[in-house]
Amino acid sequence: MAHLAVGGLQLVMEAGDNLARIGKEIDLAMARFPWLEMLVLPELCSFGPSTDHAVDDPSSIESFYAELARRHGIWLIPGSFFCRLNGAVFNTAPVFNPQGQVVNRFNKVYPFRPYERGVEGGDQFVVFDVPGVGRLGVMICYDMWYPEMARQLAWMGAEALLIPTFTNTMDRGLELAIARTNAAVSQAWVVNVNPASPMAFGQSIVVGPDGTVIHQSGSGREIITVDLDFEQVRRVRRRGLHGLGQTLKSFRDANISYPVYQEGAGPGAFAELGPLEVPERES
């Protein structure tokens, strides 16, 4: 049986250095639930949502998390932090294995524009393998709003989607619906971890590969524990959701090429939308 015991830490954060608090929270979670094999933290939990805290050299931050992963023998996705690279700022999520090694880094593809200024989007997709268990993919927050992201990771073999998030706006309810949709359409586990109140709205969610909500948090601090069954993913993909839609097979077998994705297609009707900018006041 291919199972992975995952913990999501819905943390209370501050707009500043949260590393000491995060270290204590990870130690506490592993003391209370020593059977956990992976921890997932919220987006930008290390230093908060301001690019003023972007780091020039991520090695010291990664050394901090590497030691925690190695000490507890766990896979660790410590949310993300802003990182400067060749003069540009990216929202970066590293992935640590139980030996404390960085196995991959994901740069958020879709910054929350036009509100999140001064942050560049990445251009790489990240999946990684947990030996003997399965393959997992990483997105960050606003990435989940783009179905192409989940589809790409599923095409790369991801059977679970890990999505650190920082949402303190009224669209959190829509994100919960999107998490369920991504799970059902990709026939994959979705683990979406958001910070607790007062910095964000909480409501972290875990969804099974058939779209079933396994757990949805409230707004306060919480340690979420869930056992991801990768054999369930394979069964759902083979037999369909509830024995019904086999979406990945149908997508694979359809004899169609979408014009919007073809080289030289141009913006099409999207050209009429205008620039990406903060809306002006209407009176």
User: Taking 80 as the threshold, does the pLDDT of residue 1 lie above it?
Assistant: no
| 148 burial via Cβ count (<10 Å: 0-12, 13-18, 19+) | exposed
> HSE (CB half, 13 Å, CA atoms) of 126?
22
When pLDDT is averaged across residues 168-178 and rounded to a whole number, the result is 97
d(CA 3, CA 156): 20
- Can the peptide bond before residue 147 be classed as cis, meaning omega within 30 degrees of 0? no
C-beta neighbour count of 48 within 10 angstroms:
19
Residue 6 pLDDT > 80, yes or no? Answer: yes
Q: What is the pLDDT of residue 60?
A: 85
Contact 162, 191 (CB under 8 A): yes
pLDDT over threshold 90, residue 263: yes
Statement: residue 168 has pLDDT above 80: yes
Cβ-contact 168, 200 below 8 angstroms: yes
Residue with tokens 């958020």: 108
Span 200-219, mean pLDDT? 97
Q: Which CATH class is domain 3-254?
A: alpha beta
pLDDT tens digit sequence for 68-91:
999 999 999 999 999 999 999 999
Q: What is the pLDDT of residue 48?
A: 96
Determine the pLDDT at residue 283: 80
Please report, rounded to a whole number, the percentage of residues in the chain having pLDDT higher than 70: 100
| Domain ranges, ordered by start, for the chain | 3-254
